[in-house]
Structure 1
Amino acid sequence: MRIALLGGTGDVGEGLALRWAYHTNHDVVIGSRDPDAAHDAAAAYQETVAEHGRETKITGFENAMAADRADVVVLSVPPYHVADTVDAVADSLDADDVLVTPAAGMQRDEDGFHYHPPGAGSVTALVADAAPEDVPVVGAFHNLAAGRLANLDADLGIDTLLVGEDESAKDVVAGIAEDIDGLRALDAGGIANAAEIESLTPLLINVAQHNDGLHDLGVSFR
């Protein structure tokens, strides 16, 4: 399977790209508005994976071209860029693709981070509204610490919650999630439940900032 990470030069994109390249045989494609930045990031990630003993090929393209080459398209961009990014790549998507969003709306003040959903109710709902009608949308990977993902020496042992209306699409995303060693995917229902999941992200950041040894905090359900 070919996975494109749009905005894959950022922290979350890097972590997911490294994990899929290291733990799986999926083709990993890095997307960016700047194709040169995508190429450079892909080369750097490929080198990191090689340093950990696995030879793989990671490619980089402009976002629309990356999406056109993928089966699963992950919007690893900030929440305020998701709708514009979907609009920019819409012609590259079709009903056989799965569009994945890990973004969570947040604001920060002197007390910490706080959940700040868009008018649609959640970033996942915003993406679903922006996506072409026949393209299924799945919310996933919201609550993962980017630093922990990017550290290939770190064990994960954490869960990711999935929301979406298309059960087949959720099965696809659950499969590629669990191809990453130490990551378990749990079904959390439809997109109406996305806000509850996205709101965990600022909570985890606040807990991590106030407790020593928890800077790469994750969630595991038992």
Structure 2
Amino acid sequence: MRIALLGGTGDIGQALALRWARDTGHEILVGSRDPEKARTKAGEYETELDSVGVERDVKGFANEMAADRADVVVLAVPAFHVRDLVESIADRIEDADVLVSPAVGMDRDDEGFHYKPPKAGSVTQLVADAAPEGVPVVGAFHNLSADRLANLDVELDLDTLVVGDDEDAVETVVQLGDQIEGLRALKAGGIANAAEVESMTPLLINLAVENDGMHDVGVKFE
């Protein structure tokens, strides 16, 4: 399977790229608005993987070209860029592709971080509204610490919640989540439930800010 991480030069894109490249045999494509930046970062990821004894080929492309080549497309960009990104790749994705959105709308003030969903109700729903008809959208990987995920020396013991209306697409993303060592992907219902999942992210960030030793806090359901 080919996985494209659009905006894959950023924090969550890097983290998922490294983990999937280390723990699976899937082909990893790094996308960026600047293809040269994507190629440079892909090379850096290869070096990082080599440092832990993993020899992998990671390719870098412009976002549109990465999406065109992929089976699963992860929109690893901030919430305020996600609609423009979907529109820019609309003619490069097919019905068989799966769009994955880990983005969360947030604001910050003196009291901390606060959930700020778009008018659609959630970022996952915004992506679903913007996606071409027939392209399934799944929300996942919202509540993970990118720093923790990107540190390959850290053993994970975390859950991620997966929402979506297409059962096959949800199952694909659940399997991809489970293939990351130490991560368990749990189904949390349809896209109508995305706001509940996304809203946990600012809560976790506030916990990390307010409590010593919880910089990389995550969630585990028992």
Q: TM-score range by the shorter chain?
A: over 0.9
C-alpha distance in 2 between matches for 1:115 and 1:127: 17
Percentage identity across paired residues of the two chains: 63
Normalised by the size of structure 2, how large is the TM-score? 0.99
Instruction: Output aligned runs, 1:75-114, within 5 Å.
Output: 75-114=75-114
- C-alpha separation in 2, matches of 1:69 and 1:50: 25
- The CA distance in 2 between the partners of 1:164 and 1:122, in whole Å, is 12
Question: What is the distance in 2 between the residues matched to 1:163 and 1:133?
Answer: 18
Separation of aligned partners in 2, 1:61 and 1:117: 30
CA deviation map 1:182-219 (0-9, x unaligned): 00010000000000000000000000111111100110
The residue type paired with residue 26 of structure 1 is: H
Residues 53-132 of structure 1 mapped to structure 2, 5 A cutoff: 53-132=53-132
Count of matched residue positions in the alignment of Structure 1 and Structure 2: 222
Equivalent residue number for residue 43 of structure 1: 43
Q: Which amino acid aligns with 2:161?
A: L
Q: State the alpha-carbon separation in 2 of the partners of residues 68 and 47 from structure 1.
A: 26
Deviations 1:6-42 (A, max 9, x none): 0000000000000001111110000000001100110
Aligned Cα RMSD in Å?
0.4
| Cα offset, 1:175, TM superposition | 0.7
Q: Which residue of 2 aligns with 1:11?
A: 11
1:97-176 to structure 2, matched below 5 A, reads 97-176=97-176
* Structure 1 residue 63, shift from structure 2 partner: 0.3
Q: State the partner residue of 1:178.
A: 178
**When the two structures are superposed, what TM-score results if normalisation uses the length of structure 1?**
0.99
| Aligned residue type for 1:203 | L
